Structure 1
Amino acid sequence: MKTFLNDAFLLTNSTAEELYHQIMKGLPIFDYHCHLSPKEIYENNSFENITQLWLAGDHYKWRAMRIHGVKEALITGNASDWEKFEAWAETVPHLFGNPLYHWTHMELRTYFGIDKLLSPDTALEIWEECNEKLQTEDFKPRRFIERSNVSLVGTTDDPTDTLEFHKLLRDGSFDVEVAPTFRPDQALYLERDSFKDWLKKLEAISDIKIDSLDGLVTALKQRVHYFAENGCYASDHDIQLMSYKRLSKDEVEKIFMKRMNNEELTNEELIGYRSYLLVELGTMYAEKEWVMQLHMGAIRNNNTYMRELIGADGGFDSIGDNQLAKGLSRFLDTLDQARSLPRTVLYNLNPRDNYVLGTMAGNFFEEGIPGKVQFGSGWWFNDQYDGMLRQMTDLANLGVLSHFIGMTTDSRSLLSYVRHEYFRRIVCNIIGEWVEEGKVPNDKKIIKNMVENIGFNNAQKYFSER
């Protein structure tokens, strides 16, 4: 019987252990997409306690606690930080089979040197030990990133952001590159109540009058240029419904003006507007040689009562089941026909769509760019053992796993870098099993290159060539 979280954790054969400990473990992390705060990284303030570091804003933990029946006051409410930590500690022993059980103890071990299992019996002891260490220099935001051997942090930023803290972080005091990512969701979803207020912010930051479709596109182009000047290498989009409808510019202009005049829009008009703007944006990205990321398939803010109680993005999102193949194909093909398709990463939230994306990625290519269109890593609800295993196995069956750009945290937590260890162990185990079972030759050179490329090299090259 193996002990919990031993050196062979998730590694079921000797080849996997060798690949992980001798090659993969020491690789730096190229975290090309996350939701860390550049302000928090720059200011580098100590956390008062483990709850503020660990539970604040962590929707994964919030969902588990709600399912367990924990009162909302102990999750997002006005309970004390100790009471919230205590509620989490009471939840954890019930999470066998959930990756949160693994990640919780990996984070305690990796960053705090704590091997105890979190439970009501150990909660106070772990609380006190973590809080004591959090007051030292080695437990500030920048040190968590450095201790994780991160070479790049790709944040997620609205086009109206001044990128003030990204600029400040280039003062030479922090060796890790913190790069912005252009996330124009507010421009794409003109049906949202916040759309007009956001346009005013875009007008102010760009100094461009937005009273027409041309004004909007011009302002976005100006912000793309500004982001590029400040180290941006990629865009990102929340695509809840991947439908595509090609309309003329005049037709889209009328849709835009209807929204400006507070007129009702049909679903077809919304799709047509988003399709047009996505093509415009994709063309801008290709000109800047950026990577375009499409996160597809979430249903957001399902619980109306809780949204009204605690606000949007409180942990009430889930997997959607809309079809995406035809719309995605038409969108990518429109850009490709114009020779304006940027390097693109496709993420699906519904694992049902693995084969859709695995085959779609092979439809579009460019000579000299291995894996120009990528089937992205297991995202969100797929960010767990079975989801990662399925994604990589499906990619291997349908494409070229050797060119896979690997894992990204997609997280708001400074401790989420243990997910790279989790991912890397799974990668090594997949390849190790193939070797041990005679499914691939035990060619040390090929396998070493494959492991190094998936773990770090592919992502660095894919996002850095601009």
Structure 2
Amino acid sequence: MKKFLDENFLLQTATAQRLYHEYAKQMPIIDYHCHLPPDQIAEDKTFENLTQIWLYGDHYKWRAMRTNGVDESYCTGNKPDFEKFQKWAATVPYTLRNPLYHWTHLELQRYFDVHDILNADSAKKIYDECTAKLKTPEYSVRGLLRKMNVKVVCTTDDPIDSLEYHQKIKEDGFETKILPAYRPDKAMNVDDAAGFNSYVAKLEAVSNTNIASFSDYLDALKQRHDFFASMGCSVSDHGLEQIYAEDYTDAEIEAAFNKIRSGKELTREENLKFKSAMLQIFAVWDWEKGWVQQYHLGALRNNNSRMTRQLGPDTGWDSIGDFSQGRAIAKFLDKLDTNNQLAKTILYNLNPADNELMATMIGNFNDGSAPGKIQYGSGWWFLDQKDGMIKQMNALSNMGLLSRFVGMLTDSRSFLSYPRHEYFRRILCNLLGSEVENGELPNDIEWIGQVVKDICYNNASNYFNWKDVAQPAKLQTV
């Protein structure tokens, strides 16, 4: 019987073990999509205890605790930190076969060298040991990024964000590149007139402009797009239920903008056309600058209206949605491609039923201009686990080129999430190693090892052109 989480965890063959230990393990990390708070990196925050770094803001753990019968006061409420941790520790044994079980113990081992199994009995010992380490300079957020050999972090930022923390991080000379990503979801969200107009007011303030027309609105957003570029940004990101690709005229979009600015709600048709226009415009701006655009598709968000009203978004009330994806994605990408305005693109699906759809869709628009120009993104959110990763890589292998895959990301708000890259790498090496030993792949360890290194790091470095990351400009004042 194998020991739990030993050095050959998930590596079922000698070849898999060799691929991981000799090729994958040594590679640095590029985290090209996450939700780490840049202010905490700028401040080089040190956490007071294990609860603060592990449970604050982690809706994965909250969902498990709620399912285990833990009262909300121990998740997002005001219970003492150690009591919250005790409830989490008591929940961990019940997460068997959920990725949280593996992630929890990988994080304890890799960051704190704690090899005990977390449960109610071990909670106090583990909490005290990890909390003591967290209070040392080595365990500041920058220290944690160094510890995991993270070379690039790409945060997620709204066009109205000042990026002042990115500037401070750069001026401090922190060796890990902390770069912004342009995420304009709120700028195209016209589901609620009052919310949209509130956003426009904030955009007016940060861009120091008066927005009286749709043209003014685009000018202000383009100014922010340019500003993000001056700060080293080369990535955009969109979190959408589905791609919007309705036909529209300029006059229709201007009329819709004027209508919602007057405080009136848009019809469903006007709403979809406006979102389609904005998505197309953002994509053209990305192409003009040579950025990479990312589309995270298929989340059904804020399903529990009572708890969302109480706690706000991103607190654990989201699920996989069953949206139709294929036709709109094809139409959207085709319009850009027809006009020779299609940027490098990464497509992510949340519904596993769309795996093969995505894996084949990318092949429609890979035109030979760059290796893997259109990417099928890694298993995301609910698919960010062993089964989800294997299915994503199998679909990509069967219908595309796994060897050109840009690999893993964390999509996390936690500085303790980087063992997810190790988890992915072990799964990748096990897939390839098993097929070598089955005779399905040649026993060419040098070549297959190079492919492993590429997927772990080199492909992303080349794809995003982060071998020599642009230096952010001086922060603009408004």
TM range (shorter): over 0.9
| Corresponding residue number in structure 2 for 1:350 | 351
Q: Post-superposition shift, 1:445?
A: 3.0
Q: Post-superposition shift, 1:269?
A: 1.5
Deviations 1:312-342 (A, max 9, x none): 2211000000101001111111111111111
| Corresponding residue number in structure 2 for 1:63 | 63
Secondary structure of 2:375's match? strand
| Corresponding residue number in structure 1 for 2:126 | 126
1:145 aligns with 2:145: yes
Secondary structure of 1:227's match? helix
Q: Distance in 2 between matches of 1:298 and 1:267?
A: 20
Supply the AA of the counterpart residue of 1:21: H
Q: Post-superposition shift, 1:172?
A: 4.2
Q: Distance in 2 between matches of 1:258 and 1:177?
A: 42
| Corresponding residue number in structure 1 for 2:195 | 194
Q: Distance in 1 between matches of 2:377 and 2:268?
A: 28
Q: Distance in 2 between matches of 1:412 and 1:6?
A: 27
For 1:52-451, list aligned pairs within 5 A.
Answer: 52-192=52-192, 193-451=194-452
Secondary structure of 2:171's match? coil
Q: Post-superposition shift, 1:307?
A: 1.0
Q: Distance in 2 between matches of 1:362 and 1:419?
A: 28
Gapped regions of structure 1 (runs ≥ 5): none
CA contact (8 A) 2:243 2:325 kept: yes
Supply the AA of the counterpart residue of 2:81: D
Q: Distance in 1 between matches of 2:142 and 2:85?
A: 24
Q: Distance in 1 between matches of 2:45 and 2:445?
A: 45
CA contact (8 A) 1:332 1:341 kept: yes
| Corresponding residue number in structure 2 for 1:30 | 30
Q: Distance in 2 between matches of 1:368 and 1:312?
A: 39
Q: Post-superposition shift, 1:209?
A: 2.1
Farther off after superposition, 314-323 or 438-447:
438-447
Q: Post-superposition shift, 1:244?
A: 1.8
CA contact (8 A) 2:376 2:396 kept: yes
| Corresponding residue number in structure 1 for 2:14 | 14
Secondary structure of 1:169's match? helix
Supply the AA of the counterpart residue of 2:231: N
CA contact (8 A) 1:32 1:154 kept: yes
Farther off after superposition, 257-266 or 92-101:
257-266
CA contact (8 A) 1:74 1:83 kept: yes
Q: Distance in 1 between matches of 2:32 and 2:349?
A: 17
Deviations 1:128-173 (A, max 9, x none): 1111111111111001000000000000001001110111111243
| Corresponding residue number in structure 1 for 2:473 | none
Gapped regions of structure 2 (runs ≥ 5): 471-478
Deviations 1:330-383 (A, max 9, x none): 111111111111100000000000111101000102333011010000000000
CA contact (8 A) 2:66 2:72 kept: yes
Q: Distance in 2 between matches of 1:214 and 1:379?
A: 35
Q: Post-superposition shift, 1:277?
A: 0.7
Farther off after superposition, 209-218 or 410-419:
209-218
Deviations 1:65-105 (A, max 9, x none): 11111000000011110110000001000111000000001
Secondary structure of 1:124's match? helix
Deviations 1:36-77 (A, max 9, x none): 011101101211111000000001101111111100000001
Q: Distance in 1 between matches of 2:128 and 2:440?
A: 50
CA contact (8 A) 1:358 1:375 kept: yes
Q: Distance in 1 between matches of 2:391 and 2:88?
A: 29
Deviations 1:211-251 (A, max 9, x none): 22111111111111100000001000011132420101111
CA contact (8 A) 1:191 1:259 kept: no
Q: TM-score, normalised by structure 2?
A: 0.96
Q: Distance in 2 between matches of 1:270 and 1:161?
A: 25
Secondary structure of 2:247's match? coil
CA contact (8 A) 2:23 2:450 kept: no
Q: Distance in 2 between matches of 1:376 and 1:292?
A: 11
Supply the AA of the counterpart residue of 1:176: T
Deviations 1:360-410 (A, max 9, x none): 000102333011010000000000000000000100000000000000001
CA contact (8 A) 2:244 2:275 kept: no
- Percent pairwise identity: 48
CA contact (8 A) 1:243 1:326 kept: no
How many residue pairs align between the two structures?
A: 466
Give the aligned CA root-mean-square deviation in angstroms: 1.1
Secondary structure of 1:222's match? helix
1:43 aligns with 2:43: yes
CA contact (8 A) 2:181 2:234 kept: yes
| Corresponding residue number in structure 1 for 2:475 | none
Q: Distance in 1 between matches of 2:244 and 2:284?
A: 18
Q: TM-score, normalised by structure 1?
A: 0.98
Q: Post-superposition shift, 1:194?
A: 2.0
Deviations 1:248-279 (A, max 9, x none): 11111111111112223222221111111111
Secondary structure of 1:292's match? strand
Secondary structure of 2:464's match? helix
Supply the AA of the counterpart residue of 2:142: R
Secondary structure of 1:464's match? coil
Supply the AA of the counterpart residue of 1:15: T
Secondary structure of 1:181's match? coil
Secondary structure of 2:366's match? coil
Supply the AA of the counterpart residue of 2:133: K
CA contact (8 A) 1:29 1:150 kept: yes
Q: Post-superposition shift, 1:8?
A: 1.1
Q: Distance in 2 between matches of 1:440 and 1:210?
A: 60
